[in-house]
Chain A
Amino acid sequence: MSPVRYIIGFCLSLALTIVAYVIAVYYPEHQWALALLGLLAVTQLAVQLTYFLHLGEEVGPRLKQLSFLFMAAILMIIIIGSVWIMSNLNERMMHFTPDEKTNYMLKEYDKGF
């Protein structure tokens, strides 16, 4: 085990953090800003998984990698699913005033299930 790996990981993470900060604070209007921030975060995830958590160095059955990938799949379903459903609901309901919304829901309720 050598400290070099940790120092490389640290320097890369620090650089990625600072680039992300500069983009967000100094160029918030740029059309690619949001996509770039996402990309930088995912890159830093990969850097830290490799250099700090040593993912991918397992010998024998790769239980850590497998469980990580399974977790990542569930995580995407939770996050993308929630955002999708909630923004869709928002779009369908937002043109109502609060009273209209109540009446609409009462009407739907009276129809029964």
Chain B
Amino acid sequence: MSEAATEQKQLLKRTSIGFWLYLMTDCLLFASLFATYVVMRDATAGGPSGIDIFEMPLVLAETIILLTSSLACGLALVALATKNMRQLLVTLSLTFMLGAAFLVIEISEFAKLIGEGYGPQASGFLSAFFTLVGTHGAHVFIGLLWLAILFATFIRRGITDKLTRQLTLFGLFWHFLDLIWIFVFTVVYLMEVVT
């Protein structure tokens, strides 16, 4: 391996460890929101509880869409490593579109709840619900913005060392968001139906 390539590899390793540490602190942010949600879950203040307002098939669709988006992102990283431009273009667009579809479903779910008068001000349970799920949604939104910028750079300049680094970090971020969603799906939605 040439000296420049070794140096690039070292740099990628260092930056990804730094980004990983950020992800760990983000996990702690979500941990406190999850703790709040679990404590507030029964504080419905005479309003609806989760089982009355959640639409389970829609939530399953969201979960599968986000998981597929995560797969597309992984395949994009493979295409990046093999310098397959066409595959990279397709997988990145797929990642973006699936992520956007997820966000559209989530926003329409929120809009419907607020329209029915079950906004975050209605009860402690709904405040905790909107904060937790909304924070995850905000992360997805920022991820989509980031992806759009990376996509534009890719179209203009092709695969550069810098783009490789940034896409690797984006990949970590996107997989991480899918991980958080598994717990939102389980703790907020599935466990609500069971208890």
- A→B interface (CB under 8 Å): 1-3, 5-7, 9-10, 13-14, 17, 20-21, 23-25, 28, 33-34, 37-38, 40-41, 44-45, 48-49, 52-53, 63-64, 67-68, 70-71, 74-75, 78-79, 81-83, 86-87
* Contact, CB under 8 Å: B193 / A25: yes
Among the listed stretches B92-100, B103-111, B148-156, B178-186, which one makes contact with chain A, having 4 or more residues with CB under 8 Å of it? Answer: B178-186
Cα A9 to Cα B38 in complex, Å, equals 29
B185 touching A25, Cβ below 8 Å: no
Partner of B32 from A2, A45, A78 at Cβ < 8 Å = A78
Could you tell me how many residues of chain B have their Cβ less than 8 Å away from some Cβ of chain A? 44
Q: How many A-B residue pairs have CB under 8 A?
A: 120
Residue of chain B at shortest CB distance from A11: B71
Q: Can you list 26 A-B pairs, Cβ within 8 angstroms, ordered by A? A: A6-B75, A10-B70, A10-B74, A13-B67, A13-B182, A17-B63, A17-B182, A23-B190, A25-B56, A25-B193, A28-B193, A28-B194, A34-B195, A37-B190, A41-B186, A45-B183, A48-B70, A48-B175, A48-B182, A52-B70, A52-B179, A53-B176, A63-B20, A74-B31, A78-B31, A79-B38
B36 contacts A by Cβ under 8 Å: yes
Most chain B beta carbons < 10 A, residue from A40, A75, A81: A75
CB-based closest 10 A-B pairs:
A6-B74, A24-B190, A82-B35, A41-B186, A71-B24, A52-B175, A10-B71, A75-B31, A1-B81, A86-B39
Q: Is B82 an interface residue (CB 8 A)?
A: yes
What sequence of 0s and 1s flags, for each residue 44-80 of chain B, a beta carbon within 8 Å of any chain A beta carbon?
A: 0000000000001000100110011011001101100
- Interface presence of B129 (CB below 8 A): no
Q: Does B142 contact A (CB under 8 A)?
A: no
Binding site for A on B (CB under 8 A): 17, 20-21, 24-25, 27-28, 31-32, 34-36, 38-39, 56, 60, 63-64, 67-68, 70-71, 74-75, 77-78, 81-82, 172, 175-176, 178-179, 182-183, 185-187, 189-191, 193-195
Residues of chain A within 8 A of B68, CB atoms compared: 10
Closest CB in chain A relative to B184 CB, distance in Å: 10
Complex CA–CA separation, A22 to B191 (angstroms): 12
Structural contact, B36 and A3, CB atoms closer than 8 A: no
User: Chain A residues with Cβ under 8 A from B32's Cβ?
Assistant: 78
Please indicate the chain A residues that have their CB under 8 angstroms from the CB of B172 in the complex: 53
